[in-house]
Amino acid sequence: MFELRLRWHWEVAAAEKTGLIDYSNVEVAKLLNNVKLVARAQAHGNELFSSGRFSEACLAYGEGLKYDTSNSVLYCNRVVCWSKLGLWEKSIEECNHALKIQPNYTKALLHRAVSNGKLGRWADVVKDYEVLRRELPGDVEVVESLSQAQAALSKSWEDETHSVKFGGEVEEVSGVDQFKTAISSPGVSVVHFKVASNYQCEQVSPIMDKLCVQYQSIKFLKMDVEESPTVAKTESIKSVPTFKIYKNGDKVNEMICSDLQNLF
């Protein structure tokens, strides 16, 4: 697209020199004027960029976009400006504009991958580098960058898993507010609804403790329904022990028995 646009600019310039343009045609004259304004804005933006005035250069390229809203090159020029200023969100936004116009624009894909990398969005980085690998199969730098992004993504997943590990102890909760807060935390929560004097509840408590150590990325909770009757009512606890699994606050499983192992 860029090559076609540039070639068309050259053809317009050549036509002007040879007097082939019909200036009496209003549409042709308007189109030609827009081409000149875009070229002028881009040249001005390039001068400002070269002198390190990145914010002003971005504004200049924006002037050109007023006359040619589908100019992916001008959008990408603005991307470089925002990158120089460390404004990665704005850089990504401009890349998205350019890629809507030209979906496989490799320069925009590269810049978006770099910008997302600066923000630690490794899944998005990997996605763009996978496209680039298909578009540029012989590019060693793209292959290396993809490998690095995949490694960073894997590490971020590991870090996320470690960050949600709990203390290896079953947490006791009581009251509606504490219960809702506990089960609404990110990840999976297992709640043991019990009664302190119930023999079966006492029997399964050691199993809960064992599972809590074994599955440290899961939050294990216990609640005495006699102490929190409102929660027992809203959660429809008819007998104990009852176990419920929640994910991000939503119930995903329930069991009324003494064998916790069946929950997993």
Q: Which of 141, 102, 109, 104 is nearest to 125 (CA)?
A: 109
Query: Given this model, what pLDDT does residue 98 score?
Result: 96
For the ranges 27-31, 43-47, 59-63, 223-227, the lowest mean pLDDT is seen at 27-31
Give backbone dihedrals phi and psi of 226, rounded to 5 degrees, phi first: -75, -30
State the virtual CA torsion across 223, 225, 231, 234 in degrees, nearest 10: 130
Query: Given this model, what pLDDT does residue 32 score?
Result: 77
- Checking if the pLDDT of 205 tops 70, the result is yes
Q: Give the distance, in angstroms, between the CA of residue 142 and the centroid of all CA atoms in the same chain.
A: 21
Query: Given this model, what pLDDT does residue 37 score?
Result: 87
Contact between 195 and 236 under an 8 Å Cβ cutoff? The reply is no
Query: Given this model, what pLDDT does residue 165 score?
Result: 52
Strands (E), 53-120: none
Query: Given this model, what pLDDT does residue 218 score?
Result: 86
Tens of pLDDT along 184-198? 888 889 999 999 999
Percent of the chain with pLDDT over 70: 82
Query: Given this model, what pLDDT does residue 2 score?
Result: 43
- Checking if the pLDDT of 22 tops 60, the result is no
Tens of pLDDT along 94-146? 999 999 999 999 999 999 999 999 999 999 999 999 999 999 999 999 999 99
pTM, rounded to two decimals: 0.56
Interatomic CA distance for residues 132 and 142, integer angstroms:
7
Query: Given this model, what pLDDT does residue 256 score?
Result: 80
Domains of the chain (ranges plus CATH)? 2-119 (1.25.40.10), 171-263 (3.40.30.10)
